[in-house]
């Protein structure tokens, strides 16, 4: 089957790989000059399979109210909020307060994450050194700076136990065994370690997988944007490029990150995805003894510090500001402070890359996977809206969507990601 994949971020490239392995004739259309240049560019670098949480949660609401007006606060809202932002927030709130929804979505995301972990390991086995991601499988550590936070983390583990996800609730001494460089003068009561999780540079992974896919026969067309989906008899039969070229196709997969919404809307479908801005800063590690060994989530600043080979990346903030690409220095000051407070001496402050990206967020949190709803355009497939966890969830999502495109039955839990839910 001839398939057009729209978007060469981590979700589009992993899907293109799966489809070509299944014998399809795949063309990836990418508006930018290379793969992985948009949100997959410089994220927090965690493959946090055991620490995936739906966006719409009671905790987000508390965080928003507590930190909205503080400089250090993780939640930011551009004022006055646009009608689109207000609509997204109201839908988020509705999902957050609907009884049972957070737990159901978390469970579905954890199952998808576990499938992603296993698929990632298979990809690594299959591709060997051709798959580059500058990361490890050394676990993810969620820090608790207070006893209350440690108790909260402990309360979160029942679902992990039930799903057989390896984890360890640690006291401060236990945390330091895994991350010995953590500063002694910063508050630490313990933490939760997800031992099978890992790290990695999503951009390098995406680029190296794209190179492998190209070598396996996938066509990549860069610097070309899809401007229209051509529909005939309730099927997408072509895509129109900004060069006015029209490519005929048997199926289309929408993997356009936060831009998926606009393309879906153009054919009358709703893909409610909002660009939730976040920031990262990557710095050369000057002394490995003083840096993180793996990836550490700091509950005080709500930032993530991740070791990437001889670099450290620190990342944070959820900002609702539409598609504002501005890089306010104040955000990076907070990231620097947060890194320094936990890992003093790891870096000299020299910044290799300061970046902002837009998480393609659905109002509940789980991605949109599968066919379009109600039998409308049955050959249009979605692999998008992965929000905070697109790097983590990419391998499993691609695997299931590729199988669905081949008409295979999927496990029940994947229904939690239905488009139009
Ligand atoms: C600050 C921050 C930290 C994060 N940390 C993590 C983390 O630690 N772990 C994790 O799992 N996830 C993390 N994420 C989320 C993760 O980065 C995203 O979920 C993921 O990169 C989304 O990938 P994507 O392929 O869907 O989108 P993108 O990477 O944005 O790719 C979409 C592509 O589609 C292209 N495109 C759009 N429209 C068109 C068109 N019309 N025609 C052709 N091409 C088009 C775009 O140019 C783009 O290249 C983080 C995100 C941010 C912002």
| pLDDT recorded at residue 374 | 85
At 130, which helix (H) or strand (E)? none
271-299 burial, b at 16+ Cβ within 10 Å, e below that, comes to bbbbbbbbbbbbbebeeeebbbbbbbbbb
CA of 359 to the centre of ligand 1 (A): 6
CB neighbours (10 Å) of residue 78?
14
CA of 228 to the centre of ligand 1 (A): 21
Provide the CA 45 distance to its chain's centre, in angstroms: 9
| pLDDT recorded at residue 27 | 98
Residues 83-93: pLDDT tens digits? 999 999 999 99
Residues 221 and 158 in one domain: no
Domain membership flag for residue 113: no
Residues 354 and 380 in one domain: no
Residues 268 and 278 in one domain: no
CA of 398 to the centre of ligand 1 (A): 14
Maximum separation of any 2 CA atoms in the chain, in Å: 67
| pLDDT recorded at residue 322 | 96
3-state secondary structure at position 132 = coil
Residues 217 and 346 in one domain: no
CA of 77 to the centre of ligand 1 (A): 21
Domain membership flag for residue 114: no
Report CA-CA distances (Å) from 195 to 121, 128, 297, 311, 398: 15, 22, 14, 22, 24
For the chain, which residues score pLDDT lower than 50?
none
Tell which residue, 276, 209, 268, 253, has the closest CA to residue 384.
253
Ligand 1 mutation pick, 6, 36, 40, 199, max ligand atoms within 8 A of CB: 40
Ligand 1 mutation pick, 362, 390, 394, 396, max ligand atoms within 8 A of CB: 390
- All residues at 6 or more sequence positions from 45 whose CB lies less than 8 Å from its CB, including other chains: 135, 199, 200, 201, 202, 295, 304, 306, 308, 313, 315, 391
Residues 67 and 129 in one domain: yes
Residues 164 and 243 in one domain: no
CB neighbours (10 Å) of residue 157?
15
User: Radius of gyration (Cα) for the chain, nearest Å?
Assistant: 21
CA of 9 to the centre of ligand 1 (A): 6
Residues 10-63: pLDDT tens digits? 999 999 999 999 999 999 999 999 999 999 999 999 999 999 999 999 888 887
Domain membership flag for residue 245: yes
Q: Which atom of ligand 1 lies at the shortest distance from residue 45's CA?
A: 8
| pLDDT recorded at residue 65 | 80
Task: Please report, to the nearest 10 degrees, the dihedral formed by the alpha carbons of residues 93, 99, 101, 107 taken in order.
Answer: 140
Asked whether 273 lines ligand 1 (CB < 6 A), one says: no
Whether the Cβ atoms of residue 270 and residue 259 lie closer than 8 Å to each other: no
Q: Which atom of ligand 1 lies at the shortest distance from residue 384's CA?
A: 26
- For ligand 1, atom 41, which residue shows the shortest CA distance? 226
Beta-ladder partners of 192? 142, 169
Residues 241 and 386 in one domain: yes
CA of 46 to the centre of ligand 1 (A): 14
Question: What number of residues does the chain have?
Answer: 421
Q: What is the reported pTM? A: 0.97
Residues 218 and 338 in one domain: no
Domain membership flag for residue 78: yes
Domain count, the chain: 2
Residues 161 and 225 in one domain: no
Beta-ladder partners of 219? 27
Q: Which atom of ligand 1 lies at the shortest distance from residue 385's CA?
A: 26
Residue 409: exposure state from Cβ atoms within 10 A (0-12, 13-18, ≥19): exposed
132-152 burial, b at 16+ Cβ within 10 Å, e below that, comes to bbbbbbbbbbbbbbeeebbee
Residues 89 and 194 in one domain: yes
Residues 74 and 155 in one domain: yes
> CA 96, 98, 102: angle at the middle one, nearest 5?
55
Which of 317, 338, 361 terminates a domain? The answer is: 361
DSSP letter at 11 equals H
Give the CATH number, domain containing residue 259.
3.50.50.60
Residue carrying the six token digits 């895509």? 239
Q: CA 390 to CA 360: how far, in whole Å?
A: 9
Domain extent for 336: 53-107+120-199+274-361
Q: Which atom of ligand 1 lies at the shortest distance from residue 392's CA?
A: 11
Give the CATH number, domain containing residue 336.
3.30.9.10
CA of 211 to the centre of ligand 1 (A): 18
């Amino acid at each position: 089957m001839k398939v057009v994949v729209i978007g060469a971020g981590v979700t589009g490239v992993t899907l293109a790989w799966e489809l070509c392995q299944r014998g399809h004739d795949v063309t990836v259309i990418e508006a930018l000059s290379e793969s992985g240049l948009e949100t997959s560019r410089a994220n927090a670098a965690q493959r946090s399979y055991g620490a995936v949480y739906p966006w719409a949660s009671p905790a987000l609401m508390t965080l928003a109210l507590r930190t909205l007006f503080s400089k250090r606060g993780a939640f930011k809202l551009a004022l006055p909020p646009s009608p689109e932002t207000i609509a997204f927030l109201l839908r988020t709130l509705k999902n957050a307060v609907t009884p049972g929804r957070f737990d159901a979505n978390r469970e579905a995301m954890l199952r998808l994450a576990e499938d992603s972990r296993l698929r990632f390991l298979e990809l690594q086995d299959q591709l060997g050194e051709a798959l580059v991601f500058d990361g490890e499988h050394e676990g993810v550590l969620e820090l608790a700076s207070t006893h209350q936070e440690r108790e909260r983390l402990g309360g979160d583990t029942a679902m992990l136990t039930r799903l057989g996800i390896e984890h360890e609730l640690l006291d401060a001494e236990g945390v330091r065994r895994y991350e010995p460089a953590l500063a002694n003068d910063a508050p630490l009561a313990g933490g939760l370690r997800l031992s099978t999780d890992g790290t990695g540079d999503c951009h390098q992974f995406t680029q190296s997988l794209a190179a492998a896919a190209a070598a396996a026969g996938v066509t990549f067309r860069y610097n070309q944007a899809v401007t229209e989906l051509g529909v005939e008899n309730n099927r997408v039969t072509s895509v129109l490029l900004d060069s006015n070229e029209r490519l005929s196709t048997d199926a289309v997969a929408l993997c356009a990150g936060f831009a998926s919404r606009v393309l879906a809307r153009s054919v009358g479908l709703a893909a409610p995805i909002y660009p939730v801005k976040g920031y990262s800063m990557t710095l050369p590690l000057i002394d490995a003894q003083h840096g993180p060994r793996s990836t550490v989530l700091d509950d005080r600043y709500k930032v993530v510090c991740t070791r990437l080979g001889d670099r450290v990346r620190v990342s944070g903030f959820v900002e609702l500001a539409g598609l504002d690409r501005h890089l306010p220095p104040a955000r990076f000051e907070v990231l620097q402070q947060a890194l320094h407070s936990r890992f003093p001496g790891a870096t000299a402050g020299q910044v290799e890359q300061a970046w902002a990206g837009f998480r393609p967020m659905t109002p509940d949190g789980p991605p949109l996977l599968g066919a379009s709803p109600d039998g409308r355009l049955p050959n249009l497939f979605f692999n998008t809206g992965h929000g905070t966890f697109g790097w983590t969830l990419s391998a499993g999502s691609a695997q299931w969507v590729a199988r669905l495109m081949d008409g295979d039955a999927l496990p029940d839990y994947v229904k939690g990601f239905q488009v139009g839910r």
